A and B are shown apart, each in its own frame.
Chain A
Amino acid sequence: MARFTDKVCIVTGGASGIGAKTAEMFVEQGGKVVVGDVNDTLGTEVCERIGADNAAYVHLDVTNPDACQAAVELAVEKFGGIDCVLNSAVKMAPGLLKDLPLENWNLMVNVGLTGTFLMSQAAGRWMIDNGRPGSIVTLSSIGGRQPYGMSGAYSTVKAALIMLARHLAIEWAGNGIRVNAVCPGHTETPLTAYLQDPEIKKGRSEVTPLQRVGQPVDIANGILFLFSDEADYITAAALDIDGGLSMTVMNHLPGRKWS
């Protein structure tokens, strides 16, 4: 039996980056996925690549509770239930807080935070009502641990997501539903298009103890571990997958260097 045989996963933001990679690997390891995203073109492509027997696409705007409910219903109808949820959807609206339009703030909070709440709630309700244990993973960020220039709204949302994961974990532990957060470091995806600039990529690699930026597979491996039974006593945890980046403040003091 493969690691995720008979398991079903909903992936929000599954059309791209970390979500798409996780969806692919979940199926490679025996499971079925529902990919939800607002980007229908990319989302459909991802599901075609994975194969229609094991992947279904649904147009999903996570800020809409009915759409979250519909994703749950699709998973149940097509694949017979839900065991795992990955909250990966995000909409970036960077800017200095002094100038940040309310609209941009709301967009970040609505997609990143409220969307994660709504998707988790819809899936969790189904799991609880059906007496089915499960595992939910929310993508926070090292930005949720440390402030990050121009990312005031993002970092605030990402910090809140760690607390939301802990809260859901505490509320649902008695129902056999584990909830954890993953905090990636710099990871090469469409979201971080600036990593295509070789100078930025080099600079960011060099400030990371492991001397490279992350790839979606690095993050997906951690997410899949938390989904799996190997992690069946892990809940309300937040796992950094950042090559050590978040522990390096002291390395930036003049006169210090890596080794």
Chain B
Amino acid sequence: MMLEGKKIIVTGAASGIGRATAVLAAREGADVAVADIDRARAEETAGLVQAEGREAIVIEMDTSKAADAQRMADEATAAFGTIDGIVCGAIKLQPAKLEELTEEGWDRVIDVGLKGYFLCAQAAGRVMLEKGSGSIVFLSSVGGVQAYNGAGAYSVAKAGNVMLGNLFGVEWGGRGVRANTVLPGQVPTPMTAAMFDDPEIAAGRAAVVPMGRVGKPEEIAEACVFLLSDRASYVNAATLKVDGGQAESKMMHTPGRNWGGKKMEYSAA
């Protein structure tokens, strides 16, 4: 098991990728602090962690509040004795065209999705610095390296996640705390349900990915668990795309080009 005995916090763990990460971390041997603003769904995730035979605690919190981030670190430490890693994923979407984006819409995304990453990584990180080991993983997005039009401040927050991850890695790496960033492509989750529930959009989104399909929350979770684990012990201030090749496919959308490879049919076996 890759995370045997480790104590991991996951923010945004009530849903989607955060939940999948909490469950996979547990399957790999970790006890998990499920941190989210949505208590009811966080309790469900905690149940899934326990079903893997590991301990779970629920921390109801708002990542954009420093006092909540501190309480998160305190409660995790009180319950588990220490913290070995944190995955930051909590996000609140406020999509809007730039000409219509409100100050509140901008602030909410930046507060939860960027400041919240800083506050939570800082609070959990102080515990890890103290003992001289730990791993921070940020969930950014392909939208952090490519402008995601119509998504308001999302791409800006996500680009900020990458730089913040690098900054933590550079400042803290020498004291045993690594920090890295995962860039998921398109993944059906409650966040993206509104789009993927439309079969036409779902088919179109799969088709623009070189691998011909969208990703699964579990596939993003695998990358997070790898980066949390000692297998990644020399990976620091790095970014890892988990997107089926999407971020590198811009030029293939030029009319007159196609993917080249013929699609293969896989049998169920």
Query: Among the listed B169, B232, B249, which residue makes an inter-chain contact with A209, where contact means beta carbons less than 8 Å apart?
Result: B169
Q: Is A230 within 8 A of B240, CB to CB? A: no
Q: Is A233 within 8 A of B259, CB to CB? A: no
What mask results when residues 84 to 110 of chain B are scored 1 for a CB within 8 Å of chain A, else 0?
Answer: 000000000000000000000000000
Q: Is A174 within 8 A of B185, CB to CB? A: no
Inter-chain contacts of B178 with A (CB < 8 A): 210, 244
Does B175 sit at the interface, judged by CB under 8 A? yes
Count chain B residues whose beta carbon lies closer than 8 angstroms to a beta carbon of A. 48
Inter-chain contacts of B263 with A (CB < 8 A): 174
Query: Among the listed A131, A208, A221, A232, which residue makes an inter-chain contact with B264, where contact means beta carbons less than 8 Å apart?
Result: A131
Does A214 sit at the interface, judged by CB under 8 A? yes
Inter-chain contacts of B266 with A (CB < 8 A): 176
Q: Is A170 within 8 A of B241, CB to CB? A: no
Q: Is A171 within 8 A of B216, CB to CB? A: no
Does B238 sit at the interface, judged by CB under 8 A? yes
Q: Would you list which residues of chain B between 209 and 238 have a CB under 8 Å from chain A?
A: 209-212, 215-216, 219-220, 222-223, 225-226, 231-238
Does A236 sit at the interface, judged by CB under 8 A? yes
Q: Is B235 within 8 A of A222, CB to CB? A: yes
* Given A174-B262, A209-B170: A230 touches B222 (CB 8 Å cut-off): yes
Task: Give 7 nearest A-B pairs by CB, closest first.
Answer: A209-B173, A173-B210, A218-B234, A244-B237, A174-B261, A244-B236, A236-B245
Does A107 sit at the interface, judged by CB under 8 A? no
Does B201 sit at the interface, judged by CB under 8 A? no
**A residues touching B (Cβ–Cβ < 8 Å)?**
128, 131, 133, 166, 169-178, 185, 208-212, 214-215, 218-219, 221-222, 225, 230-237, 239-244, 246-248, 251, 258-259
* Given A174-B261, A233-B244: A242 touches B210 (CB 8 Å cut-off): no
* Given A233-B216, A236-B210, A248-B170: A174 touches B259 (CB 8 Å cut-off): yes
Q: Is A242 within 8 A of B238, CB to CB? A: yes
Q: Is A171 within 8 A of B260, CB to CB? A: yes
- Can you show 30 pairs from A to B with CB atoms below 8 A apart? A128-B261, A131-B264, A170-B210, A170-B249, A170-B259, A173-B211, A173-B212, A173-B245, A174-B211, A174-B261, A174-B263, A209-B173, A210-B173, A210-B174, A218-B233, A225-B231, A230-B222, A231-B223, A235-B210, A235-B245, A236-B210, A236-B243, A236-B248, A237-B243, A241-B234, A244-B170, A244-B178, A244-B238, A247-B166, A259-B175
Q: Is A169 within 8 A of B245, CB to CB? A: yes
Residue of B nearest to A220 (CB): B231
Q: Determine how close the nearest CB of chain A comes to the CB of B129; give it in whole angstroms.
A: 10
Inter-chain contacts of A243 with B (CB < 8 A): 173, 234, 236
Inter-chain contacts of B226 with A (CB < 8 A): 225, 230
Measured CA separation A31–B262 after assembly (Å)? 28
Inter-chain contacts of B215 with A (CB < 8 A): 233
